[in-house]
Amino acid sequence: MGILAEDIARVREASDFVAVASEHIALRKVGQRYVGLCPFHAEKSPSFSINPVEKLFYCFGCQSKGDVITFVREIEHLDFAEAVERLAAKAGLRVRYDQASVSRDRQRRDRLVEVMQQAVDWYHQRLLSGDDAAPARSYLRSRGYDGDVVRQFQLGWAPDDWDALARTLKVPDDVLRDTGLGFVNRRNRQQDAFRGRVMFPIFDTRGEPVAFSGRALPGADGPKYKNSAESPLYSKGKVLYGLNWAKTDIVNAGEVIVCEGSTDVIGFFLAGLPRAVAGWGTALTEDQVRMLKNFAGRLVLAYDADSAGQAAAERLYEWEKRYEVDIAVADLPPGSDPADLARRDPAALLAAVEHARSFLAFRVERALGAASLSTPEGRARAAEAALAIIREHPDEFVRDQYVMDVSTRTHIDPDRLREALKKGRLTAVPPRQATSARASRVVLSRSAEEEALLLAVHDREGMAPRLHEVLFDDELTAAAYRALVSSASLHDALEVADPGAADLLQRLAVEEPSEDAENVIGRLAREAGMRAVHELEQAARESDDPAAFVPAIGWLMLTVEELRDPSSTVDASDRLVRWLVDRLEVEA
């Protein structure tokens, strides 16, 4: 039942503790030992120390201690036998049991990782040498990706074939499904999950492949990106693209850049900042912050702070305090993303990161910059907008510093601003129109997607016929909506939702809607319609036949205009949803 003692000793002796620990934390050598930030508690100064000869560790901050096996058990949440097996596999050893038993879960994971690696290699070789991959190679060259970049990031090509990968792998249905590489279709045949896409493999911190992101070629049908679904290997909120490559530079710089997607990460690498990771969308999760704080004390968000989680401001401030990290925002030029900026103006990208400002400073500057400060009315509006943002910060002294900055910019007495900060409003209003500070903050911070989700939380039966997943672009609100509509009750939804979505649903459950349903649905549908317009316009610019996109773009623009008229909102939103659903089905 237990592993033989002599085999445990062999595994411990053969394990490179420094290499094992470096998969999770950044280490530097100090004399004969290695030190780093403790992974078992939050700290800014390294107190975690490893003796690489004796294979022992000790934290002077939280007093955690043990050997390399203990470390693997604690950091990866394994039992003793699983930890020994994990280390044995790394050292190329086999362990024996005093009774015939093995870890089925470990064997299963090893099998899935093995198949994923085969897929990475197959897609990669197809890109390098396949005749059908010539357009993909041409596209990558146009993005500035030469052969070295393709090999460094192990990019691949999924041919536009129904089952090319499945026929090559020849694995059981459950393995194909659990890796996310394919599925069994209605004809009871194996079918590839990715077709006609440039493939970006996603690795965990150990460097093991766990998922893929597939990018469609310009002008191709279907969504621009398609990512692996969650699987036994892959949890979206806990894996960061590029961290396996960026770990060393992150610790050397004491800073990690968090962006939206794989091409942004590669853009940063090519621009000379190889410390970028991607969180697959704009919602930074607590698991990701917890993971990154082991490598760096400063997180720079390389996307718009307003889309980076304006409604999640409280959580970001809480995470800054809990994990003792600084969260800043790179002020990218309007309309630019890191991938394009790296190719067009890498110096501007470097400058945006170098001059990144705190999350609160960035948002306050946005609020002031969006207003006219040349008139008393404009300065009053700017001050109110800035105060609504400042009010979200939990630290009284930080808030007061920003109040003084706003006072200087708007020429309003700081004491009056402080009073307004407490009351929730700068100017007096009739009592029945006044709102509490909490309510004012919620209204200002909710997006159309959150407002629609809030209505669904409070009136699911009434909203169910009016909403659809295709209207939600943000992955967090989409995940919360899926959990809500697939469950019998809100409590059931909280049970099945991932932590971020459950947190959002629970927060919305204690808030009140601030808009009527027709306004919210109209706003939500208009945003979805305009996203589709922008996608088609981009596809048209990249297509050899841009005129082919004109009818669809024209229809969408007319539908968006109809959504502005309350008398036609219901019909227009229903037509738009049907169009978006049909488009997804065609792309699938």
> What would the mean pLDDT of 46-55 be, rounded to a whole number?
88
Q: Which residues of 303-332 are buried (b: 16+ CB within 10 A; e: fewer)?
A: bbbeebbbbbbebbbebbeebebebbbbbb
Choose from 8-22, 50-64, 391-405, 449-463 the range with maximum mean pLDDT: 8-22
Residue with tokens 């197959």: 122
Provide the token pair at 249. 């530079």
Q: Is the pTM of this model over 0.75?
A: no
CA–CA dist 156, 136 (Å, integer): 9
> What would the mean pLDDT of 338-364 be, rounded to a whole number?
90
What pLDDT, in 10s, does the model give residues 429-464? 333 333 333 333 333 346 888 899 989 988 888 888
What pLDDT, in 10s, does the model give residues 1-30? 478 888 999 999 999 999 999 988 999 998
Provide the token pair at 409. 């910019």
What is the percent of the chain with per-residue pLDDT over 90, rounded to a whole number?
A: 33
Which tops the pLDDT comparison, 31 or 173? 173
* Least reliable range by pLDDT among 72-76, 195-199, 275-279, 551-555: 72-76
Q: What is the DSSP string of 263-281?
A: HHHHHHHHTT---EEE-SS
**pLDDT for 100:** 47
> What would the mean pLDDT of 227-255 be, rounded to a whole number?
88
Which tops the pLDDT comparison, 545 or 269? 269
Residue with tokens 């994923």: 116
Alpha-carbon separation of residue 401 from 408, 442, 511 (angstroms): 11, 23, 29
Of residues 230, 232, 121, 126, the one with CA closest to residue 175 = 232
* Least reliable range by pLDDT among 118-132, 134-148, 527-541: 527-541
Q: 105-234 has which fold?
A: DNA primase DNAg catalytic core, N-terminal domain (3.90.980)
> What would the mean pLDDT of 303-313 be, rounded to a whole number?
52
Which tops the pLDDT comparison, 242 or 458? 242
CA–CA dist 267, 241 (Å, integer): 13
Of residues 279, 274, 278, 284, the one with CA closest to residue 253 = 274
Count Cβ atoms below 10 Å from residue 413 Cβ, excluding itself: 10
> What would the mean pLDDT of 112-121 be, rounded to a whole number?
96
Alpha-carbon separation of residue 261 from 89, 274, 326, 339, 476 (angstroms): 32, 14, 22, 9, 16
- Class of the CATH-defined domain 238-355: alpha beta
**pLDDT for 312:** 57
Can you list the positions of beta strands (E) in 163-297?
A: 182-184, 190-192, 197-203, 209-216, 225-227, 255-259, 276-278
Residue 344 scores a pLDDT above 60 = yes
Residue 339 scores a pLDDT above 70 = yes
Q: What is the DSSP letter of 309?
A: T
**pLDDT for 272:** 94
What pLDDT, in 10s, does the model give residues 169-181? 999 999 999 999 9
Which tops the pLDDT comparison, 127 or 388? 127
**pLDDT for 588:** 56
DSSP helix/strand/coil, 536: helix
The tally of CA atoms less than 13 A away on the side-chain side of residue 351 is: 7
Model confidence at 293, pLDDT cuts 50, 70, 90, reads confident
**pLDDT for 426:** 58
**pLDDT for 99:** 56
Which tops the pLDDT comparison, 103 or 212? 212
DSSP helix/strand/coil, 80: helix
Give residue 380's Cα distance to chain centre: 36
CA–CA dist 567, 410 (Å, integer): 41
Residue 309 scores a pLDDT above 50 = no
Q: Who contacts 488 (Cβ-Cβ below 8 Å, separation ≥6)?
A: none
**pLDDT for 435:** 34
Domain ranges, ordered by start, for the chain:
5-102, 105-234, 238-355, 364-444, 448-587
CA–CA dist 246, 251 (Å, integer): 9
User: With contact defined as beta carbons under 8 Å apart, do 213 and 202 qualify?
Assistant: yes
CATH number of the domain at 5-102, please? Answer: 3.90.580.10
Provide the token pair at 141. 């060259």
CA–CA dist 215, 204 (Å, integer): 20
Model confidence at 281, pLDDT cuts 50, 70, 90, reads low
Provide the token pair at 45. 């100064």
Provide the token pair at 82. 């699983």
Which tops the pLDDT comparison, 308 or 266? 266
User: With contact defined as beta carbons under 8 Å apart, do 173 and 142 qualify?
Assistant: no
**pLDDT for 313:** 64
CA–CA dist 184, 190 (Å, integer): 4
What is the percent of the chain with per-residue pLDDT over 70, rounded to a whole number?
A: 91
Count Cβ atoms below 10 Å from residue 98 Cβ, excluding itself: 11
CA–CA dist 582, 588 (Å, integer): 10
> What would the mean pLDDT of 565-580 be, rounded to a whole number?
87
CA end-to-end span of the chain: 48
CA–CA dist 95, 85 (Å, integer): 7
Total H helices, total E strands in the chain: 28, 16
Of residues 332, 278, 328, the one with CA closest to residue 303 = 332
DSSP helix/strand/coil, 476: helix
**pLDDT for 124:** 97
> What would the mean pLDDT of 83-99 be, rounded to a whole number?
85
Q: What is the DSSP letter of 56?
A: E
The whole-chain average pLDDT of the chain stands at 85
What pLDDT, in 10s, does the model give residues 482-510? 989 888 887 778 878 887 788 788 777 76
Q: Helices 448-458 and 475-485 sit at what angle, rounded to 10 degrees?
A: 20
Which tops the pLDDT comparison, 334 or 252? 252
Alpha helices in 411-516 (DSSP H): 414-423, 437-445, 448-458, 460-463, 475-485, 490-496, 499-509
User: With contact defined as beta carbons under 8 Å apart, do 450 and 311 qualify?
Assistant: yes
**pLDDT for 441:** 34
CA–CA dist 272, 252 (Å, integer): 14
> What would the mean pLDDT of 122-132 be, rounded to a whole number?
96
